[in-house]
C-alpha cells in the first residue's frame, strides 16, 4: 500500500502556487530576496508543507503588518512567521546586522542588499 505522504507532492505544490493570490505572495518573497520568482517557488516547494502553502496568502497578509521599517523592508516576518523559512532568532540577528551596518555609516541600500544576501544564504543552507 502506498500512502499519499510518500508520494512526490511537488506538482501539487506548484499548482497551489499558481493561483493569483499565491503568485502575488511568491512575487513579494522573490522581490524581498532579490531572486527570480522561479527561485522563490523552488524554495517554497522544497521547504514548505502543503498546509502552509495553502494558507500562504493569509499568513503573508498578517505578517506584512508587523515589525519596524527595517524588518518590513527585509521581509523578516514574512520569512520567519508566514513561511517559516528561517528561525525568528536568525531573522532578528539579520535585522541587527543591517542596523549595525547603517549605524556605522554604510548606505542603507547597500546594507539592505547585504542583509538580503545573508538571509538568502540562511534559507539555502
- Residue percentage of the chain with pLDDT more than 70: 94
Grid look-up 518590513 returns 72
Q: Residue 98 belongs to a domain with what CATH number?
A: 1.10.3070
pLDDT tens digits, 70-117: 898 899 999 999 999 999 999 999 999 999 999 999 999 999 999 999
Number of domains in the chain: 1
pTM for the whole structure: 0.84
The string of DSSP codes covering 72-124 is HHHTHHIIIIIS--S-HHHHHHHHHHHHHHHHTT--HHHHHHHHHHHHHHHHH
Domain that holds residue 79: 4-124
User: How is 47-81 classified by DSSP, letter by letter?
Assistant: H--HHHHHTHHHHHHHHHT-S-HHHHHHTHHIIII
Q: Average of pLDDT values for 13-35?
A: 93
pLDDT band (50, 70, 90) for residue 66: confident
> Does 6 score more than 90 pLDDT?
no
Amino acid at each position: 500500500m502506498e500512502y499519499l505522504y510518500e508520494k512526490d507532492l511537488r506538482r501539487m505544490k506548484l499548482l497551489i502556487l499558481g493561483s493569483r493570490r499565491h503568485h502575488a505572495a511568491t512575487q513579494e518573497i522573490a522581490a524581498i530576496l532579490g531572486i527570480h520568482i522561479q527561485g522563490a517557488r523552488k524554495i517554497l516547494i522544497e521547504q514548505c508543507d502543503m498546509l502552509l502553502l495553502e494558507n500562504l496568502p493569509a499568513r503573508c497578509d498578517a505578517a506584512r503588518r508587523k515589525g519596524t521599517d527595517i524588518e518590513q523592508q527585509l521581509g523578516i516576518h514574512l520569512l520567519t512567521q508566514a513561511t517559516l523559512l528561517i528561525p525568528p532568532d536568525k531573522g532578528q540577528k539579520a535585522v541587527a546586522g543591517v542596523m549595525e551596518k547603517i549605524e556605522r555609516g554604510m548606505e542603507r541600500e547597500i546594507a539592505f542588499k547585504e542583509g538580503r544576501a545573508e538571509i538568502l544564504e540562511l534559507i539555502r543552507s
